[in-house]
Chain A
Amino acid sequence: MNLQNITLVSFGYFEKDLLEKTAEAVRQEFHGIVNVREGHIDLSEFYDPARRQYNGNGLLKQVDALSFPDTIKTLGLFNVDLFIPILTFIFGQAFLGGRTGIASLYRFSNERYGMTGNELLMLDRFKKEVIHELGHTFGLIHCHNPTCVMRSSTYVEDIDQKEQQFCLHCRGNLETLTGGFLAE
Chain B
Amino acid sequence: MAKKISILVVDDEESVRDSLYSWFIEDGYRVECAENAKKALTILESDQFDIVLADIKMPGMDGLEMLRRIKAHKHDSIVIVMTAFATVDTAVKALKDGAFDYVTKPFDPDDLTHLIRNATKQISLAEENETLKQKVVTLENVEDLIGNSDAMKNVLREVESVAQTNSSVIITGESGTGKELVARAIHANSPRKFFPFVSVHCGALTESLLESELFGHEKGAFTGAMYNRKGRFEMADSGSIFLDEIATISTKMQVELLRVLESKTFIRVGGNKEISSDFRVICATNKDLKNMVEKGLFREDLFYRLNVVNIHIPPLRNRIEDIPLLVDYFIRKYCTSMNKPPIPIDQAAMNRLQEFNFPGNIRELENMIERAIVVGDGKKIRLKDLPLEKTILTTSAESLDDFEKTFILQILTKYNWNISRTAKALKVDRVTLYHKIKKYDLKPADQQ
Contact = CB atoms under 8 A, between A and B. Distances in A.
A85 B222 contact: no
Interface string B429-448: 01000100110000000010
Nearest to B420: A163
B216 to A, nearest CB: 9
Interface string B184-207: 100010000000111100000000
B27 A142 contact: yes
Contacts of B44: none
The range of chain B's interface size is: 35 or more
Nearest to B194: A144
A180 to B, nearest CB: 10
B19 A87 contact: yes
Contacts of B229: 113-115, 157
Nearest to B82: A86
Interface stretch (A33-41, A63-71, A118-126): A118-126
Given A90-B109, A124-B419, A146-B184, A111 B224 contact: yes
Nearest to A21: B417
Given A86-B105, A152-B27, A161 B198 contact: yes
B223 A154 contact: no
A85 B16 contact: yes
Contacts of B26: 94, 96, 136, 141-142, 152
B114 to A, nearest CB: 9
B207 to A, nearest CB: 15
Interface stretch (B124-132, B279-287, B333-341): B333-341
Query: Most A CB atoms within 10 A — which of B217, B224, B434?
Result: B224
B223 A155 contact: no
Interface string B75-110: 000000000000000000000000000000111111
Interface string B10-44: 00010110111011011110000000000000000
A113 B420 contact: no
Query: Most A CB atoms within 10 A — which of B144, B227, B339, B420?
Result: B339
A83 interface: yes
A171 B19 contact: no
B375 interface: no
Contacts of B23: 86-87
A139 to B, nearest CB: 10
29 contacts: A17-B447, A21-B417, A31-B339, A57-B15, A85-B13, A86-B16, A86-B23, A87-B19, A87-B106, A88-B109, A89-B108, A96-B25, A111-B224, A113-B217, A114-B221, A114-B223, A115-B212, A115-B222, A118-B434, A124-B430, A142-B26, A142-B27, A146-B197, A152-B113, A154-B109, A154-B113, A155-B109, A183-B339, A184-B339
Given A57-B18, A121-B434, A155-B110, 7 more contacts: A31-B339, A88-B106, A107-B227, A112-B227, A113-B229, A115-B225, A154-B110
| 4 pairs of A and B residues whose beta carbons are closest in the complex | A114-B225, A114-B222, A154-B109, A154-B110
